Amino acid sequence: MKRIFSGVKPSGDLTLGNYIGAISNFTKLQHDYDCLFCVVDLHAITVPQDRQELKKRVKDIAALYIACGIDPNKTHIFVQSEVPSHTQLAWILECHTYIGELNRMTQFKDKAQKLGTDGLSSGLYTYPVLMAADILLYDADLVPVGEDQKQHVEITRDIAIRFNNRYGETFVVPEHFIPKVGARIMDLQEPTKKMSKSENDKGCILLLDEPSIIRKKIMSAVTDSETQIYYDPQKKPGISNLISIYAIITNKTIDEVVEEFKDANYGTFKKALADKLIERILPIQERFKDIRNSKELDDILDAGRDYAMHLATRKINKVMKKVGLGRH
C-alpha cells in the first residue's frame, strides 16, 4: 500500500487555511493509503514558543485531526519530537543539502524580509531539511500540502534523488498533492496575503472560533468597490477567496458558486457563506470537546508513536550504514 506523510505545526491555533489546504484532504485520502499524520512540534520551535502553550497546542492539533474526520483506526497520528530519528536524519540530510538551495526557499526569504535576519534562528533557515527528513524517513509516496509548502516538497525530492545517486536506492522520491481549489486560502482582511495561524487576527478564521466570531469575520471580510460576484483572483482577490471557501465547504465548483450568486449582493453571499461555514465547523468543535481531554487521545498518540518509531528506526539504521556512521 502506498504511503502518505503530512504534518501541521503547533505554532498557533488551526486556521480554516490549514483545514482546507491540508486536513480536509487528509480525510479524503486516508482510505487509500497508509497514512502518517504528524504534529510537527520541532518545526514550531523555529520561532520562539511559550512552553505551556506549545504543550497544549500539540494535543489540540492531534484532537482536531480526529475531530476533522481523520480516523485513528485507519491512520497513525503521532508527535514528531517523540520519534528522535527525525532530527537524526535531518542532520545527515543537512550535510547533503547546499546552502544555495536553502537560499532559494521563498518562505524563509519572506520571513527574513519581514523580520530581518538578526533575530531569526538557523532552525528556521534549515527547516526545509527537517521537513525532508520527516517525509523520507517513512518512504512516503505522497505529501498532501497547501501551495505554500510546494517548494519544500520539491527540495525533498532533490535531496532524495541526490542521496540515492550517491549511496544507491535508499529513499522513495515523493510527490506532492496540492488541491486544485483551496491550496492557498487568503487572509480575509488582506486577501493578497496567505491566511496564517501565527498572524491570527480578524483576517484569520480559527477552527475553534465561536460561531458569532466566524460570522463577524466573514461579514467584515475585505472585498472591492464593484457589486458583481465573479471569480478573478487578480482583480477581485477578496471575493475570489470567499468563492473558493464556499466552493470547498459545499463541495461545488467555482462556476457553480458563481452561477448560484450571480444576482446576489456581497452581503447576501457573505451571509450564506457564514451559515455554511458554521454548519461545517460546529460538529468539528463538538467532537473536539469530546476527544481533547480523553484518555483515548493519549492512547492514539502512543500507538502512532510506536508505529512511526518502528518504521523510522529501520530507515535511520539503513541510512547510517550507507553513509558509514557508527560501528556496525
Q: Using the rule CB under 6 A, which residue among 4, 8, 258, 312 binds ligand AQP?
A: 8
Stretch that binds ligand AQP, among 49-57, 114-122, 193-201, 250-258 (CB under 6 A): 193-201
Q: Using the rule CB under 6 A, which residue among 87, 106, 198, 265 binds ligand AQP?
A: 198
C-alpha–C-alpha distance, residues 18 and 7, integer Å: 10
C-alpha–C-alpha distance, residues 121 and 127, integer Å: 10
Per-residue x/- marks for ligand AQP, 235-274, CB under 6 A? Answer: ----------------------------------------
Q: Using the rule CB under 6 A, which residue among 4, 5, 13, 15 binds ligand AQP?
A: 15
C-alpha–C-alpha distance, residues 240 and 243, integer Å: 5
Comparing CB distances to ligand AQP, the nearer of 18 and 223 is 18
Comparing CB distances to ligand AQP, the nearer of 183 and 222 is 183
Per-residue x/- marks for ligand AQP, 116-155, CB under 6 A? Answer: -----------------------------xx-xx------
Q: How many residues bind ligand AQP (CB under 6 A)?
A: 22
Q: Using the rule CB under 6 A, which residue among 4, 5, 18, 281 binds ligand AQP?
A: 18
Comparing CB distances to ligand AQP, the nearer of 137 and 319 is 137
Of these residues, 194, 236, 270, 315, which one is catalytic? 194
Rule CB under 6 A: is residue 191 a binding residue for ligand AQP?
Answer: no
Q: Using the rule CB under 6 A, which residue among 196, 223, 240, 241 binds ligand AQP?
A: 196
Rule CB under 6 A: is residue 195 a binding residue for ligand AQP?
Answer: yes
Closest to 41 (Cα-Cα) out of 63, 30, 56: 56
197 has catalytic annotation: yes
SS3 readout for the chain: CCEEEEEECCCCCCEHHHHHHHHHHHHHHCCCCEEEEEECHHHHCCCCCCHHHHHHHHHHHHHHHHHCCCCCCCCEEEEHHHCCHHHHHHHHHHCCCCHHHHHCCHHHHHHHHHHCCCCCCHHHHHHHHHHHHHHHCCCCCEEECCHHHHHHHHHHHHHHHHHHHHHCCCCCCCEEECCCCCCCCECCCCCCCECCHHHCCCCCCECCCCHHHHHHHHHCCCCCCCCCCCCCCCCCHHHHHHHHHHHHHHCCCHHHHHHHCCCCCHHHHHHHHHHHHHHHHHHHHHHHHHHHCCHHHHHHHHHHHHHHHHHHHHHHHHHHHHHCCCCC
111 has catalytic annotation: yes
Stretch that binds ligand AQP, among 188-196, 224-232, 237-245, 258-266 (CB under 6 A): 188-196
Q: How near is the Cβ of 22 to ligand AQP at its closest, in Å? A: 4
Comparing CB distances to ligand AQP, the nearer of 77 and 319 is 77
Q: Which residues are catalytic?
A: 111, 194, 197
Which residues form the interface with ligand AQP (CB under 6 A)?
Answer: 8-9, 11-12, 15, 17-18, 20-22, 145-146, 148-149, 183-185, 194-198
